[in-house]
Chains A and B, each alone.
Chain A
């Protein structure tokens, strides 16, 4: 039972490069989330989705984009990487009738 999977685990980007962080869940959850975690700051919501084809901005969406073409996948796109995007990124999902979120193992991104 894989749960929420994220790739890659680690990545180093140069300023101005772009990349996509992948997130897949196999629990048939409607809700999916992207967070970034910075030391001492907890988790900040970047984008979320309530179902395939529907996405919305969270607290810190600038510099990111998402899409949700299927229930399973929720990729996060960084178009022009900046040092301020150095962080650990977590994807999470939640079922329609449950309230807790299930988290992936995270992607550690460094932008230099």
Chain B
């Protein structure tokens, strides 16, 4: 992937409201797509991944994402957020290159869930 763009740096939302975190990428080859979550003072954890098959991918904690090849997007959604979803979310794209796999991370979106 030449670039990964997370369109929102911060997303404030009220508890139990739906949320969408947007991710677009540019690549000329087939890619694998990931969303990771980072809770405060912790490392990144895998939330979900798209490798092939169905374009709608379900992950942990009620999150899902849809791969749209024509729009080169992989937006993350949750129908009803909880306070505990407050974290930073990273979109990542992997593609094959001469050295094997290359992964590029987006700059992150900070989700802040308010009571």
Contacts and interface: CB of A to CB of B under 8 A. Distances in A.
The contact size tier of chain B is 20 to 34
* Secondary structure class of chain A's binding surface, majority of residues: strand
Given A4-B43, A56-B99, A105-B43, A100 B90 contact: no
Nearest to B51: A99
A100 B46 contact: yes
Interface stretch (A35-43, A63-71, A75-83): A35-43
Interface residues of A, number: 21
A56 B46 CA distance: 25
A112 interface: no
A104 B9 contact: no
Given A50-B99, A90-B43, A105-B41, 10 more contacts: A40-B108, A42-B106, A43-B44, A50-B100, A90-B44, A99-B34, A99-B49, A99-B94, A101-B103, A106-B42
Interface of A: 4, 31, 35, 40-43, 45, 50, 56, 90, 92, 94, 99-106
